[in-house]
Amino acid sequence: MNKNTDYVALEKKYVFGTWRQQRSWNPLLIEEAAGCYFTDINGKKYLDFSSQLMCSNLGHKSPKVINTLSKQANKLCYIAPSFATIPAAKLGEKLAAITPGDLQKTFFSLGGAEANEAAIKIARMYTGKTKLISRYRSYHGATSGAISLTGDPRTHYAVGIPGIIRAPDCYCYRCPLGKEYPNCDISCAEYIDEIIKMEGKQNIAGIVVEPIVGSNGILVPPKEYIPRLREICDERELLLIDDEVMTGFGRTGTWFCIEHWNVVPDIMSMAKGLTGAFIPLGATIVKKKIADFFDEEGNLFCHGHTYSTHALCCAVALTAIQEYIDNNLIEHVKQVGVTLGKRLHELKEEHKSIGEVRGKGFFWGVELVKNQTTKEPFVTRSQKFLPNTLKKISAASIEKGVYIVNVINTLIIAPPLIADMEQIDEGIRVLGEVLKIADKECM
Ligand SMILES: Cc1ncc(COP(=O)(O)O)c(C=O)c1O
C-alpha cells in the first residue's frame, strides 16, 4: 500500500465526504497548494480552474496572509465576542467602505450558511414579518434556514424553517415562463410582484437572491432584473437581501456583483473570498437604517455564535482585502475576464455539446446540451448525485491536470483572481479536449 491509499482509506473510514454517496467517493490526496495550482501526494500538479468551491480568490499560499496568521496568533487568536478587538473594529470599518451605498454594520460568523442565517433573522427582527421569497435555482447554505431558502436538489432530507416562498428563476436560456428576452418584460420579476400581492406584503420580510446564481448554473440576469427587484422591494416595503457569498470580492469584476446594476441591497451576506478561503469567516452587513433600529432601546440584537468576530479570522480578512487592493485584482478580473469570456465563446463555436456560455469577470458557466436545437440537457436536477456525463468531464479534466467543478448541467470556470492569460489558456486548452467526451454523446 502506498502513502496515498492509506490516508484516503483512513479519511473515507472516519470522515464524511460532503454531498455524495460515500462508497463511490475516491478523492485525490492533496498535500500542498501555491498560486493557481495544487499538488497531490505523488507530486502531480493541478491548475485550479474553479478556485476550489469558487472561494480561493487569491489563489493558494499567500505570504502576506501567512505573516498575518502568525503575527495575530502570537498576539490574540480568540476572545469572546463580548470584547472588542482591533482586527474586528478595522474589518467592520473596511467592509462599510468597500460595500455599496450605506451598508454599514456587520455581524461576523464563520461561513456562508451562517451569514445567511443571520440575514434571515435580522430581516425578521427588523421587519417583524416572517415570510421570505427565494428562488428554485439557488443555493444559500446547508443549515436549516439557509437550506430552506435554497431550492436546488440539496434540499433533500432537509428539515427546514417555515415561511419560505419560491419564485420563478431568472434563467433566460430555459425561461420557466416560456418567454424570450427582451420581449418578456422581465416577467420573472413581475411574477414576484404577483406573489407579494397574493401572500400579502404585510407578511413578507424580504427577497433573497444571488445576484448571479452560482452553483445552480451561473445564471446571469438581464440588466433590468435586479433593478426591478429593488423597485419592487421599495414599492412593497420589503428588504432586498443579496447573497454575495460566491460572487463577492472581485469574482465578477466588481467588489460585489450587485454593483453591475448600481443597486444597493438592504442586507448583504458574504464569506468565501472575504478571507480568500485561507481561514473561515462569514459576514452579514446591513444598511444604516437597520443598524440604527438595533440601537433603539428595546430592540434586542438576539443572535451570536461562540466564534462570532473571531480575531484571527478578522485579521486574515483584512489582509485578504488589502491583497485585492494592492494587486489591483478587481481591475485585472474586469479586463482579463473579457478575454476569458471570449475564449469560452470561441469554444462554443467548436463544440456542439455547448448550449450556452454565460458569466462575468472570472465567473463563467458552460452549460452542456445533447442537442443545441432542443437544448436537451446531459444532466437533470434529479441526476445531480448520480454518475453522469459532466462528472465524467470533470474527472477527465483532473486526469489532465486541470480542476473544473461541475454543477448539475453546467461546468464552472472560475479561476483564482490572480490567474494570468497563460494559466487561462492552459485551462481552456484542456477544457476543449475534455468537451469532446460530451460532443461524442450529442445527438
Ligand atoms: C451563494 C451561496 N450562498 C451561501 C453558500 C453557503 O456557504 P458555506 O458553504 O460557506 O456555508 C454558498 C456556498 O457555496 C453559496 O454559493
The pLDDT score that the predictor gives to residue 392 is: 97
Q: Tell me the C-alpha distance between 331 and 298, whole Å.
A: 45
Query: What average pLDDT is seen over the chain?
Result: 96
Long-range contacts of 322-331 (CB under 8 A, 24+ apart): 322/64, 323/58, 323/62, 323/64, 323/65, 323/276, 324/57, 324/58, 324/249, 324/250, 324/255, 324/417, 327/418, 329/57, 329/58, 329/250, 329/417, 329/418, 330/250, 330/253, 330/254, 330/255
3-class SS shares of the chain: helix, strand, coil, % to 5: 40, 20, 40
Which residue, of 326, 357, 380, is where some domain finishes? Answer: 326
pLDDT above 70 for 4: no
159/69 same-domain check: yes
pLDDT at 1: 45
Q: Which residues of 61-71 are buried (b: 16+ CB within 10 A; e: fewer)?
A: ebeebeebbee
The total of structural domains in the chain comes to: 2
Q: What is the H or E stretch that residue 403 is in? A: strand 402-403
Query: Residues 424, 289: one domain?
Result: no
| Ligand 1 pocket residue status of 141, Cβ below 6 Å | yes
Q: What is the pLDDT of residues 219-240, one digit of tens each?
A: 999 999 999 999 999 999 999 9
Picking from 307, 326, 345, the residue at the C-terminal end of a domain is 326
Domain co-membership, 49 together with 74: no
**Which of 215, 216, 241, 246 has most ligand 1 atoms within 8 Å of CB, for mutation?**
246
Instruction: Calculate mean pLDDT across residues 39-44.
Output: 97
pLDDT tens-digit map of 323-355:
999 999 999 999 999 999 999 999 999 999 999
Indicate if 206 and 344 belong to the same structural domain: no
**Domain end call among 299, 326, 353:** 326
| CATH classification at residue 311 | 3.40.640.10
Mean of the pLDDT values across residues 45-60?
98
Residue 160: the pLDDT is 86
**Contact by Cβ (8 Å): 242, 265:** yes
**Has residue 249 got a pLDDT over 90?**
yes
> What value does the mean pLDDT take over residues 257-283?
98
Q: Is 13's pLDDT higher than 60?
A: yes
Global pTM value: 0.97
Question: Which pLDDT belongs to residue 205?
Answer: 98
Task: Say how far apart CA 228 and CA 231 lie, in whole Å.
Answer: 5
What's the CA gap between 86 and 88, in Å, rounded?
Answer: 6
Does residue 149 have a pLDDT over 50? yes
Asked if residue 267 and residue 289 are part of one domain, the reply reads yes
Residues 87 and 163 in one domain: yes
**Residue-range definition of the domain harbouring residue 422:** 3-61+328-440
Q: Check whether residue 120 and residue 184 sit in a common domain.
A: yes
Residue 158 has pLDDT above 90, yes or no: no
Residues 421 and 400 in one domain: yes
CB 125 within 8 A of CB 291: no
Residues 52 and 163 in one domain: no
d(CA 242, CA 269): 6
**Atom from ligand 1 closest to the CA of residue 111:** 10
* Same domain (yes/no): 157, 225: yes
**Ligand 1 atom at minimum distance from 114 CA:** 11
Calpha distance 165→206 (Å, rounded): 10
The verdict on 338 and 289 lying in the same domain is no
316 Cα: distance to centroid of ligand 1 (angstroms): 19
C-alpha cell at 273: 473570498
pLDDT of residue 212: 98
- Cα(274) to centroid of ligand 1, in Å? 12
The CATH number linked to 423 is: 3.90.1150.10
pLDDT (0 to 100) of residue 5 = 62
Please indicate, yes or no, whether residues 283 and 336 belong to a single structural domain of this protein: no
